[in-house]
Amino acid sequence: MFVNSLLFLYFFLPFTLLFYYFATEKLKNIVLLAASFIFYAWGGVSYVSVLILSTLVNWLLGLGSEKSKSLSGKKYWLIVAVLFNILPLLIFKYTGFFKDNLNFLISIFGMKPMVIRTFALPLGISFYSFKAITYHVSVNRKETAVQHNYADLALYISFFPSVLAGPIDRYRNFLPQLHDRAPNPDQFASGIRRFSIGLGKKVLIANSLAVITDDLFGGLASNLNAPLAWLGIICYSLQIYYDFSGYTDMAIGVAKMFGIELMENFNFPYISKSIKEFWTRWHISLSTWLRDYLFLPIAYSTSRKLIKERYFTIRVDQIIYVIATSVTFLVCGFWHGAAWNFIVWGLIHGFLLILEQLGLGRLLKKSFKPVRHVYAIFFLMISWVFFRTETLVDAFHYIGVLFGFGGKPINWQLVLEYLNTGLVLTLILAIIGATTIFSNIVDWFKRRYEDKTMLIRIFTVNIYEVSSIILVLAILVASTLFMVAGTNNPFIYFKF
Amino acid sequence: MVLFFSLISVVVLNDQIHFTSPPKVLAVERRNISSEPQLDINHLDLYPEAYSRYYDDYFPYRLNLINFYAGNVCLKFFHRSPYPDKVDLGRDGWLYFAEEGAMYKGTYKLEDAHIKSIVAELHKRALYYHEKGIKFYLAIPPLKQEIYPEHLPLKYSKLPGLNVTEKVIDLIRKDPLVNFIDLKSALINAKKHGRLYFKTDNHWNSLGGYYGYRSIIERIKKDFPSIIPLDTNDFTMKMKVINGANIAQFINISEYIKDESTDHTVKVERASYEKPKGYKAPAALLHPQEFEVVRRVKNPSLPTIVIVRDSYFYGLMPYIIENFKKSITLYDSRTYEIYDEVTRNEKPDLVLYMIYEPRLVCLIGLNRW
């Protein structure tokens, strides 16, 4: 089930809330766990067994590690736990990739391709596997105790708002909320607001931009020219942000309705002035996960092996940074998808981060602010090409067209045809919404009337509250309209 | 919070007591409304999707909301197609089916073997009739995109080389048993006489049908000189404004967009209906009552024709039936079969296969409806 579906909004969510708030304190987590399994089962009943098995084995592995007294024993349990979570991910997600590449290699030597079975990817496996790993690492680092209650651990791993697309919440953040939460009306109302905004971001903006993106990236061979290619990548850059951050907002909003605070995942990433800053604002739960569980351990272990201060005149800390960043972003790219495109995307980000660390960052800091923004946005957009296209050849072709190589002659009328009222309005809204303009206006509004008399303050606060309620309702109604329209599948009787 | 729950409650309550009008699906969805699925332990994987579909179908005011979205939000406000993967908004109010566009642009591709199979299927029919001494004619009503590319969205561009239809026609022209009638050239030439296709429908209108008819009948007349083709003096023409036609209906904007229809009435109608013989129809007909339609003109000097056709025949039907002693039209499941029983009983002088361009692929069973 998707959180941006009618069934979720008008059936699953209200009934889950109803059961949850009528359940006794002891049963609340059970209600949430049952709801999580049902929610997950909606995406594939067979795969819910994979999720249940995963939660069960992770729980047992945690108990096993507790039994072990020695540090090396605990480390052994941690390795087993990490492998247990990584292996299914490798099998389900990457078998096809390895098979295709292996077959390509052996075909060079004239050998017959190998037949290896591939599997359908269980939804959200990349997310819940990483959550399970955070649990084991937390326990191993003694940040938290081993969880004895299966339902509690299962709820952390499979909590329905975040099981499909994150945020990859840390166990240490989630644990205190498992039994000590007291949802209040303010938190609930804030959850509704957050959910509605997320729904609007996904349904009204991301889905509308997707139409243009699909058309322009899908029509690579036909009529793509430089301005259209730029329009396509601008739309895609905004689409991916609104899609993903919209989903995160919905997840955070729904969790709030149950009194649970999930970690933030986005913080206006497109206002970044460097790639380094971008990764502090984009998919924060993943970037911090990679930092804590990959980058820092690699950097630490490398630093122990490199004992000199310099190697080939390069400072050792820079070498460590290069190694740790390269590996981290290789993994980051591969985590996003089992294709060379994603690997290249990750490596581009890694490469830019290394450049910034080695001197470009210092240069940027001295530069005019808009130049820094342009630098960041430019390279982000170029890297998104690899994310969106299906093959590296397509990606390089698209980038070529962006710069006037290999595209069709420029036809401004065609560009204007794409830029209809709907797209222009959506783009304006999307670009403004991706900046802090709206939140700055709200802050200014609040500050402006802070020192006014009580009467004016009450009046202005009410204006703000009422407009915010109207906006939220309007978004909900408009999103519902778009979702209902999505259920219509006209059937053209002469399908090609 | 109160407003949020009120909104949700309306829907939830409606699920239980159905206070809105009974739910139904749109005609263009061509399916029955979903029934509540039963949980079957052996087929659990199917249940969620079936239940979601059922839930969506019963969503209150579903049809009203879909129509509002398509007409007011997309067409009027955003000026875009509500379903861009299904329909392209052309210029000046012209609509085009997107899937037909793939055929026109050449992005719909077939392997050479498939092209040859289509040609072989046509040859098989031609040979069958040839062996029985019956003339075989083939007319392919062209896509609207071919005749009116000037109204297409600019993003349409044909790929270099021939598209599927052009490849088939290229080969079929070389078959001496097939009398191919080039409707595309005839219609392009006739554009100066008026609009030949509906703006909001993928069919030709009565005028387009008439020029299609002229092209067909002039070719047939070469072999059957007793035929006297109708000309524009033989019918009256009446223009009327209509709601958006089949493409507009397809995306629920029929009431938001207007079109023009020209009704042609033959001044002296000589053809009359005759009771069909009741030939065995193939299974799964879209319009079973129209499988066999027979008309007769009391003029023994005229030939008898069997027409295996699709919906494009409607446009030229009023004219063509006037030119034959007996016309038997067969509207099958768009497989354009050979009807041996009909041939043996009716002993036609000629047969005409009218196959709408995108449906050539139906001859080899590809992507049939």
Shortest Cα–Cα distance, B155 to chain A (Å): 6
Better-predicted residue by pLDDT, B333 or A8: A8
CA distance B163 to B161: 7
Taking residues A48-63, report their average pLDDT. 93
pLDDT given at position A69: 82
How many residues make up chain B in this entry? 369
In terms of Cβ atoms closer than 10 Å to its own Cβ (0-12, 13-18, 19+), residue A62 is buried
Shortest Cα–Cα distance, B102 to chain A (Å): 9
Sheet with strand B272-274: strands edge to edge:
B179-181, B135-139, B350-354, B304-309, B326-331, B292-296, B272-274
- A487 interaction partners in chain B (CB closer than 8 Å): 56-57, 59, 62, 66
Size of interface A-B (CB pairs under 8 A): 150
Q: How far is CA A303 from CA A278, A319, A350, A407, B243, in A?
A: 26, 9, 19, 48, 75
In terms of Cβ atoms closer than 10 Å to its own Cβ (0-12, 13-18, 19+), residue A466 is exposed
User: Sorting pLDDT into bands at 50, 70 and 90, what band is A310?
Assistant: confident
CB atoms within 10 A of CB B222: 9
| Chain A residue whose CA is closest to B361 | A496
- The percent of chain B in helix, strand and coil, each rounded to the nearest 5, is 45, 15, 40
Taking residues B207-232, report their average pLDDT. 94
Across the strands, what pairs with B87?
B97
pLDDT digits 0-9 by tens, A326-339: 999 999 999 998 89
Show Cβ contacts of residue A121 under 8 Å, excluding neighbours closer than 6 positions: A92, A93
Interface test with B, best of A3, A9, A10 (most B CBs within 10 A): A10
Q: Which of B5, B56, B70 sits opposite A6 (nearest CB)?
A: B56
Helix (H, G, I), strand (E, B) or coil at A399: helix
- A1 interaction partners in chain B (CB closer than 8 Å): 48, 52
CA distance B337 to B358: 17
Across the strands, what pairs with B262?
B239
The ipTM (two decimal places) reads: 0.81
Token reading at B139: 């007319």
Show Cβ contacts of residue B33 under 8 Å, excluding neighbours closer than 6 positions: B23, B24, B25, B57, B58
Asked whether the beta carbons of residue A494 and residue B369 sit closer than 8 angstroms, the reply is: yes
Q: Following DSSP, what letter does each residue of A146-179 receive, concatenated?
A: PP--HHHHHHHHH-TTTTTT-----HHHHHHHHH
pLDDT given at position A490: 65
Taking residues A90-99, report their average pLDDT. 88
CB atoms within 10 A of CB A465: 11
Residue B194 has pLDDT above 50, yes or no: yes
Shortest Cα–Cα distance, B283 to chain A (Å): 16
In 3D, which of B200, B165, B204 has the Cα closest to residue B188? Answer: B204
Interface test with A, best of B9, B59, B151 (most A CBs within 10 A): B59
Taking residues B112-140, report their average pLDDT. 95
pLDDT digits 0-9 by tens, A276-306: 999 999 999 999 999 999 999 999 999 888 8
Interface test with B, best of A42, A424, A473, A492 (most B CBs within 10 A): A492
Given a contact cutoff of 8 angstroms between Cβ atoms, the answer to whether A386 and A345 are in contact is yes
Phi, psi of B95 (to 5 degrees): -120, 145
pLDDT given at position B28: 58
Is A349 an annotated catalytic residue?
A: no
Q: What is the pTM of this model?
A: 0.84
Q: Which of B15, B77, B82 sits opposite A11 (nearest CB)?
A: B15
Q: Which of B62, B68, B105 sits opposite A487 (nearest CB)?
A: B62
Asked whether the beta carbons of residue B82 and residue A46 sit closer than 8 angstroms, the reply is: no
Asked whether the beta carbons of residue B8 and residue A417 sit closer than 8 angstroms, the reply is: no
Which helix H or strand E contains B239, and what residues bound it?
Answer: strand B235-243
Exposure string of A227-243, with b = 16+ CB inside 10 Å and e = fewer, is bbbbbbbbbbbbbbbbb
Token reading at A9: 């909004």
Shortest Cα–Cα distance, B221 to chain A (Å): 32
Token reading at B287: 């319009």
CB atoms within 10 A of CB A9: 23
Helix (H, G, I), strand (E, B) or coil at A101: helix
pLDDT given at position A224: 86
Shortest Cα–Cα distance, B127 to chain A (Å): 27
Interface test with B, best of A488, A491, A493 (most B CBs within 10 A): A488
Radius of gyration of chain A (CA): 25
Q: Which of A6, A221, A420 sits opposite B80 (nearest CB)?
A: A420
pLDDT given at position A247: 95
Asked whether the beta carbons of residue A496 and residue B70 sit closer than 8 angstroms, the reply is: no
Shortest Cα–Cα distance, B208 to chain A (Å): 21
Q: Which of B55, B154, B157 sits opposite A6 (nearest CB)?
A: B55
Categorise residue B336: left if φ over 0, alpha if ψ from -120 to 50, beta otherwise. Answer: left
Rounded to whole angstroms, the maximal C-alpha distance in chain A is 84
Shortest Cα–Cα distance, B34 to chain A (Å): 12
User: Sorting pLDDT into bands at 50, 70 and 90, what band is A132?
Assistant: very high
User: Sorting pLDDT into bands at 50, 70 and 90, what band is B24?
Assistant: low
- A496 interaction partners in chain B (CB closer than 8 Å): 99, 102-103, 108, 358, 361, 366-367
Q: Which of A43, A481, A487 sits opposite B73 (nearest CB)?
A: A481
pLDDT given at position A495: 32
Asked whether the beta carbons of residue B154 and residue A414 sit closer than 8 angstroms, the reply is: yes
Helices (H), A282-436: 284-290, 296-305, 316-336, 340-355, 361-366, 369-388, 392-402, 412-418, 421-433
- B369 interaction partners in chain A (CB closer than 8 Å): 493-495
- The residue whose two tokens read 């800091």 is A365
Asked whether the beta carbons of residue A476 and residue B7 sit closer than 8 angstroms, the reply is: yes
- A219 interaction partners in chain B (CB closer than 8 Å): 155
- Which of A83-97, B131-145, B149-163, B279-293 bottoms out in mean pLDDT, i.e. has the lowest? B279-293
Residue A275 has pLDDT above 90, yes or no: yes
pLDDT given at position B367: 65
The mean of the pLDDT values for chain B is 88
Rounded to whole angstroms, the maximal C-alpha distance in chain B is 82
Phi, psi of B118 (to 5 degrees): -60, -45
- A495 interaction partners in chain B (CB closer than 8 Å): 99, 367, 369
Helices (H), A42-94: 45-67, 71-89
Which helix H or strand E contains A311, and what residues bound it?
Answer: strand A310-311
Better-predicted residue by pLDDT, A297 or A462: A297
Asked whether the beta carbons of residue A221 and residue B159 sit closer than 8 angstroms, the reply is: yes
- A7 interaction partners in chain B (CB closer than 8 Å): 51-52, 55-56
CA distance A152 to A377: 42
| Chain B residue whose CA is closest to A187 | B1
pLDDT given at position B20: 60
The number of angstroms, rounded, from the C-alpha of A327 to the middle of its chain's C-alpha atoms is 20
User: Sorting pLDDT into bands at 50, 70 and 90, what band is A496?
Assistant: very low
- B73 interaction partners in chain A (CB closer than 8 Å): 481
Shortest Cα–Cα distance, A484 to chain B (Å): 6
pLDDT digits 0-9 by tens, B248-286: 988 889 889 999 998 888 888 888 888 988 888 887 777
Given a contact cutoff of 8 angstroms between Cβ atoms, the answer to whether A358 and A315 are in contact is no
Residue A307 has pLDDT above 90, yes or no: no
Taking residues A305-328, report their average pLDDT. 88
Taking residues A379-399, report their average pLDDT. 94
User: Sorting pLDDT into bands at 50, 70 and 90, what band is B26?
Assistant: low
pLDDT digits 0-9 by tens, B42-64: 888 888 888 888 888 888 888 88
pLDDT given at position B368: 45
The number of angstroms, rounded, from the C-alpha of A278 to the middle of its chain's C-alpha atoms is 13
Taking residues B30-45, report their average pLDDT. 77
pLDDT digits 0-9 by tens, A191-248: 999 999 999 999 999 999 998 998 888 865 567 889 999 999 999 999 999 999 999 9
The mean of the pLDDT values for chain A is 89
| Number of H-type helices and E-type strands within chain B | 12, 11
Across the strands, what pairs with B241?
B260
Q: What angle do CA A471, A425, A475 make, to 5 degrees?
A: 20
Out of A283, A336, A349, A373, which one is annotated catalytic?
A336
Given a contact cutoff of 8 angstroms between Cβ atoms, the answer to whether A485 and B350 are in contact is no
- The percent of chain A in helix, strand and coil, each rounded to the nearest 5, is 75, 0, 25
| Chain B residue whose CA is closest to A426 | B78
Give me the amino acid identity at A72. S
Asked whether the beta carbons of residue B48 and residue A45 sit closer than 8 angstroms, the reply is: yes
Given a contact cutoff of 8 angstroms between Cβ atoms, the answer to whether A488 and A477 are in contact is no
Half-sphere exposure of residue B241: CA atoms within 13 angstroms, side-chain side: 4
pLDDT digits 0-9 by tens, B161-192: 899 999 999 999 999 999 999 999 999 999 99
Residue A371 has pLDDT above 90, yes or no: yes
In 3D, which of B234, B214, B248 has the Cα closest to residue B320? Answer: B214
pLDDT given at position B31: 63
User: Sorting pLDDT into bands at 50, 70 and 90, what band is A402?
Assistant: very high
Token reading at B43: 């087929």
pLDDT given at position A278: 96
The number of angstroms, rounded, from the C-alpha of A227 to the middle of its chain's C-alpha atoms is 29
Pairing of strands B87-89, B95-97: antiparallel
| Chain A residue whose CA is closest to B56 | A487
| Chain B residue whose CA is closest to A185 | B1
Asked whether the beta carbons of residue A420 and residue B73 sit closer than 8 angstroms, the reply is: no
CA distance A295 to A324: 5
Q: Which of B47, B59, B73 sits opposite A6 (nearest CB)?
A: B59
